[in-house]
Amino acid sequence: MNLPDLIMLDIETLDVAPTAQLLQIGAVNILKPHLDFEVSISIQSQQDYFTTVSLDTVDFWQGLPEEVKQRVLYGQTHVQDALIGFTCWLPEKAKLFCYGAAFDFPILHHHYHLNGLELPWNYRDLRCFRTIYAQHKEHFAKAKAEIEHDALSDAKAQAQVFRAIYEAHPEIAL
């Protein structure tokens, strides 16, 4: 059976605005497990163009366990290299899901634009997993997974819930 490429995307940032500095990009091919993407991004590589940092978000990160901060806050990959890597990894014509389409997609769009890169997706292929989950959560509460505030871990947890819903409602992939 030829499964569609459904991607669960998660990012970690230093703000909640579309101009936020990127910390991590994590993505999972939902129906093809073990085809994952993860990159931790250098904060310094984002100093030369317009990005923002929120003190509330910095305080949030400071309150997390040290092992989470080590994974997320000290990336070494230049932001442009991270975006190019994600573009190369992303299957052509994939449907992209994230938990809150008003957060991840605009921030990534901002960074692609500032780095002079074409978006690797068509706007018609963007989906909001938060909406799908809200429509089906009463039937799939047991599938809820722990969020660790690490982009790849969070994407995997969200993909796990998505798969449980998808088994009963494959139309959510349309």
**Residue-wise pLDDT tens digits, 11-63:** 999 999 999 999 999 999 999 878 899 999 999 999 888 999 999 999 999 99
Residue 165 within any structural domain of the chain: yes
In this structure, is residue 160 part of a structural domain? yes
Residues in Cβ contact with 133 at an 8 Å cutoff, skipping those fewer than 6 apart: 99, 140, 161, 165
- Domain extent at residue 154: 6-173
pLDDT value of residue 122 = 95
Whether residue 144 has pLDDT greater than 80? no
The Cα 68–Cα 154 span in angstroms is 12
* Structural domains counted in the chain: 1
Conformation bin of residue 96: beta by default, left when phi > 0, alpha when psi is -120 to 50: beta
* Site of tokens 């088994």: 167
Question: What's the CA gap between 78 and 17, in Å, rounded?
Answer: 21
- Specify if 1 maps to a domain: no
In angstroms, what CA-CA distances link 141 with 92, 133, 135, 161, 166? Answer: 32, 9, 12, 9, 14
Q: Which of 36-45, 92-101, 129-138 has the lowest mean pLDDT?
A: 129-138
CATH code, domain with 50? 3.30.420.10
User: Nearest 5°: phi and psi at 161?
Assistant: -70, -45
User: Do the domain assignments include residue 37?
Assistant: yes
The alpha-helical segments, DSSP class H, found in the chain are 55-62, 66-73, 79-89, 104-114, 129-136, 151-168
113 in any annotated domain: yes
